[in-house]
C-alpha cells in the first residue's frame, strides 16, 4: 500500500471540490496511460456531492470513463434506494459518458444470478485482469463501520474467490444486494473514503485508531499497491487523536 492519507476539511462544502479534483486528476492520468478511466461508485450522500461538484467543472470529458458500482441494492432503477437510478438522474444523464460504458447491475434478476451477471460484466470490462483493477473506487462508511455491502461479522468479509458476491441478509434494508468483495477493493489503484457528519465520529476513531480496527469492514480496506485516502469533515474527525492533514483552500490531492 502506498500509504494512508487522512485529510480533514472544515465541512463537506470544502471537501466536495477536492473530491472532484481527485476524480478528474486520476481520470487524466489513467486516460493518458491506459486510454480509459475506470471508476467504482458508492451510494448514499456521495451521490449528490459528487454529481454537484463534477457538473460544476468546465470542460468535463467523461467519454473515456468506464463506471461500475461498488455495491447495489436489488430494487428497480426508479426506486429511491437505487444507487444507479440516483446517479442516472443526477449525473449520467448530464455528462458525455456512453451508456455502454456504465456497468449496470441488473436488479431485476434473482440475487445470485444478479451477482453472476455483474461478475461477467466486470470480467468483460477488465479482460486482462484476473481481478478487476479499478483506477479509483469511491467508498462510504456506515455508522456500524460497513463499506460497500460488507457488514460487520458477516461471512462475506472472508470471501476470497468471488469478485462480486450476493447478499440476501443485509442487516440494513433492503436485505438483497450485490457487492464487490475485498479482493477487488484492495486491488484498486486508488481508494477514497468520503465520510462526513458527527454520527461517524465514534466508529471513525475505531477504524482509524482502534486496536479492534479489523473488526470493522472499513478497516480492512488496505489497497495492496494503491493509494488510500480518507476525506472527512471536522464533525466526523471530532474524536481523532492521530495526525491528519488539514489542507488550505484550493487544495488538490
Instruction: List, for residues 43-74, the tens digit of each pLDDT value.
Output: 999 999 999 999 999 999 999 999 999 999 99
Round the CA-based radius of gyration of the chain to a whole number and report it. 17
Q: Is pLDDT of 249 > 90?
A: no
| pLDDT tens-digit map of 77-115 | 999 999 999 999 999 999 999 999 999 999 999 999 999
Q: Give the pLDDT confidence score for residue 228 in this predicted structure.
A: 97
pLDDT for 20 equals: 97
Mean model confidence pLDDT for the chain: 94
Q: What is the pLDDT of residue 212?
A: 65
Taking Cα atoms as reference points, which of 118, 140, 32 lies closest to residue 74?
A: 118
Residues 90, 43 contacting (CB under 8 angstroms): no
Residue 1 has pLDDT above 60, yes or no: no
Query: What's the pLDDT score for residue 215?
Result: 78
The answer to whether the CB of 224 falls within 8 A of the CB of 1 is: yes
The answer to whether domain 4-233 has CATH 3.40.50.1360 is yes
pLDDT surpassing 90 at residue 35? yes
Three-class SS of the chain = CCCEEEEEECCHHHHHHHHHHHHHHHHHHHHHHHCCEEEEECCCCHHHHHHHHHHCCCCCCCCCEEEEECEEECCCCCCCCCHHHHHHHHCHHHCCCCHHHECCCCCCCCHHHHHHHHHHHHHHHCCCCCCCCCCEEEECCCCCCCECCECCCCHHHHCCCCCEEEECCCCCCCCCEEEECHHHHCCCCEEEEEECCHHHHHHHHHHHHCCCHHHCHHHHCCCCCCEEEEEEECCCCCCCCCCCECCCCCCCC
pLDDT score recorded for residue 250: 65
93 close to 128: Cβ distance less than 8 angstroms = no
d(CA 137, CA 110): 26
Whether pLDDT at 2 is above 70: no
The residues spanned by each domain of the chain are 4-233
Task: Find the mean pLDDT for residues 183-204.
Answer: 96
pLDDT one-digit tens code per residue, 118-156: 999 999 999 999 999 999 999 999 999 999 999 999 999
Amino acid at each position: 500500500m502506498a500509504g494512508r492519507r487522512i485529510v480533514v476539511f472544515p465541512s463537506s462544502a470544502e471537501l466536495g471540490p477536492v473530491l472532484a479534483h481527485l476524480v478528474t486528476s486520476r481520470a487524466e492520468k489513467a486516460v493518458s496511460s491506459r486510454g480509459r478511466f475506470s471508476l467504482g461508485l458508492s451510494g448514499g450522500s456521495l451521490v449528490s456531492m459528487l454529481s454537484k461538484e463534477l457538473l460544476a467543472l468546465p470542460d468535463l470529458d467523461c467519454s473515456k470513463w468506464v463506471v461500475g458500482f461498488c455495491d447495489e441494492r436489488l430494487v428497480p432503477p426508479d426506486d429511491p434506494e437505487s444507487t444507479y437510478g440516483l446517479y442516472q438522474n443526477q449525473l449520467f444523464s448530464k455528462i458525455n459518458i456512453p451508456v455502454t460504458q456504465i456497468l449496470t447491475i441488473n436488479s431485476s434478476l434473482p440475487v445470485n444470478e444478479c451477482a453472476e451477471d455483474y461478475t461477467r460484466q466486470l470480467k468483460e470490462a477488465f479482460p486482462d485482469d484476473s481481478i478487476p483493477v479499478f483506477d479509483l473506487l469511491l467508498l462510504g462508511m456506515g455508522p456500524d463501520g460497513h463499506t460497500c455491502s460488507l457488514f460487520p461479522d458477516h461471512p462475506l468479509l472472508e470471501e476470497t474467490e468471488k469478485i462480486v458476491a450476493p447478499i440476501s441478509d443485509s442487516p440494513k434494508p433492503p436485505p438483497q444486494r450485490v457487492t464487490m468483495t475485498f479482493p477487488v477493493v484492495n486491488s484498486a489503484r486508488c481508494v477514497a473514503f468520503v465520510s462526513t457528519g458527527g454520527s461517524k465520529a465514534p466508529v471513525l476513531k475505531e477504524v482509524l485508531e482502534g486496536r479492534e480496527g479489523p473488526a470493522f469492514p472499513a478497516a480492512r480496506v488496505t489497497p495492496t499497491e494503491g493509494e488510500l485516502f480518507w476525506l472527512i469533515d471536522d464533525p466526523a474527525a471530532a474524536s481523532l487523536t492521530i495526525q491528519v492533514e488539514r489542507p488550505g483552500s484550493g487544495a488538490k490531492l
